[in-house]
Amino acid sequence: MKNSKLAMAAVLNSLGVAVYIFLVSLIINNGEKIFGQMASAIAPVAFLLLFVFSALMTGGLILGRPIMLYLDGQKKEGVKLLIYTGASLLVLLVLIFIILVLTK
């Protein structure tokens, strides 16, 4: 796989993670409006299930293809994709922090 395809896959994976995090944060921020006041034991269970599902989703988006490439014998490409994905996530993080500082 060429470096440009790896970089594009990394950016798409990072954007997928960012969109997923945005959607989960919307649910968490508006949870009381959506679900109402919860005083039962089901709320912590729902939160923990969401936490575990989020780990699965983000882990799959970030690690899925690099691991498959690595196991298919394309070790350099797998490691490069993981590094590119981490770098693009870092760029997104910096952009979010810049937006937070500018809108303060």
Q: Is residue 45 part of a domain?
A: no
Under a CB-based contact definition with an 8 Å cutoff, are residues 77 and 89 in contact? no
* Angle of helix 75-102 versus helix 3-29 axis, rounded to 10: 40
Q: pTM of the predicted model, to two decimals?
A: 0.83
Q: Does residue 39 sit within a domain? A: no
For residue 42, tell me if it sits in a domain: no
Our count of domains for the chain comes to 1
- Does the residue 36 lie in any domain? no
Q: What is the pLDDT of residue 2?
A: 83
pLDDT, tens digit, for every residue of 50-99? Answer: 999 999 999 999 999 999 999 999 999 999 999 999 999 999 999 999 99
Residue 37 lies in a domain: no
